[in-house]
Amino acid sequence: MPYTSLNPATGQVLAKLPSLSQPQWQAALAETHAVWQSWRHTGFSRRAALMERAGALLREQRDSLAGLITLEMGKLRREALAEIDKCALTCDYYSVHGEPFLRAEHIPSDGSDSYVAYEPLGPVLAVMPWNFPFWQVFRFAAPALMAGNAGVLKPASSVPQCAQAIERLFVEAGFPAGLFRTLLVEAAEVAEVVASPYIAAVTLTGSEAAGRSVAAAAGRVLKKSVLELGGSDAFMVLDDADVEAASTAAVQSRFLNAGQSCIAAKRFILLPQVAEAFLDRFAAKVAKLQPGDPIHDETTLAPMARVDLRDQLHQQVLTSIEHGAVARLGCQPLPGGGAFYAASILDRVAPGMPAYHEELFGPVAIVLRATDEDDAVRLANDTRFGLGASIWSRDSIRAEKLSRRIESGSVFINGMVKSDPRLPFGGIKDSGFGRELSYHGIREFVNAKTVWVK
């Protein structure tokens, strides 16, 4: 099966790229492993200079790379530009902090000297999704390469041109050819790639099903894995919240990338004192979102990535409505070509509905009505996911105390959940395990070697 690149706004096929045969990808992995054998001994100053150059190239090629994201994935152009900027920032961050994060850590013991040395593991396989085709890759690749590892990217089948552009950029920056490699293989072959003796570890961002499969494959061959899976983030609006500020942030937090983000706000948990005031403002702002070609500045609602994903989302909405949810706004596909779905609000969501239990990966906000603060916490935690959450309150001390009761990898107070190279990123429960970014992320794929001297 070829990798098919198409324009989600029009359905036009842009390119079809053939998958590699087994002998081809096996030879590619052997080459990457051989390149890594030299790279692992490259000094931090050289690694940092190349990573800094990669960041500079991202900025120089910003317009064309963002255009490719918009064309192949359907992201709004201004959001695609911001994605490239974030990748460049991450390259800069690790070019400066990579060496300090991995500096030997001396620890007093009964020896004359004892310390922990952080050493690279080898080529890291990254199985990456389509929704942030550059950012998801750079948040693994920048720390991995700075740590002295190699990177092997298995991209989503719908964004192969973005993946190939990233490989070209690393080579243009001066990294050895083959150190970072895009591997166009079939999904059914990923377990075989994981098992290859040339792969040291694996990281995956994607669905629960894919995460379970890859983690199982890694476990069978005793290889380290990091998973960032789905999310159903709570957006809690307390009774003392600034409703205007919260409703404005809610629009961006839910409808960024047409709602196709693991850390998008998905479950809006409202206390009764502010529920109607918040919903009135929120609905009025959501209704102003303008669907259209994502390349145009006036467009504020992008298409979904694929028609089949839109249809799956709509079925979740329809089934929830059949079980008593109320369509307050939208809740239907948009007519015409492309994978467009209306910006939607689904109210009165309750247990037993798909919208309550499942991740809705698209432009649909679901509303859960809490009776009080304790009930809001209960609702926030009543999910198998645990990626992020946000709490809105004029009393930040109250909200901070409440954050410690939320079961998630991050909690943002009076701000939308986001990833930042300075902060660790990841989830708990069915949202995965391990961390990316910050010093936590760069230490995921290294050997923490104890050295004891007498």
Residues catalogued as catalytic: 228, 262
Instruction: List strand residue ranges (DSSP E) for 12-140, in order.
Output: 13-17, 105-106, 113-120, 123-127
For residue 8, with 0-12 CB atoms within 10 Å meaning exposed, 13-18 middle and 19 or more buried, which class applies?
Answer: buried
Select from 101, 112, 123, 110 the least CA-distant residue to 44: 101
In the three-class reduction of DSSP (H, G, I as helix; E, B as strand; rest coil), residue 454 is classed as coil
d(C-alpha 354, C-alpha 367), whole Å: 13
Neighbour tally for 227: CB within 10 Å: 24
Q: How many helical (H) and strand (E) elements, i.e. helices and strands, does the chain have?
A: 15, 18
Residue type present at position 316: Q
Alpha helices, DSSP H, located in 185-270: 190-195, 208-220, 243-255
Phi, psi (deg, nearest 5) at residue 221 = -110, 15
Measured at the CA of 302, the angle between CA 298 and CA 305, to 5 degrees, comes to: 155
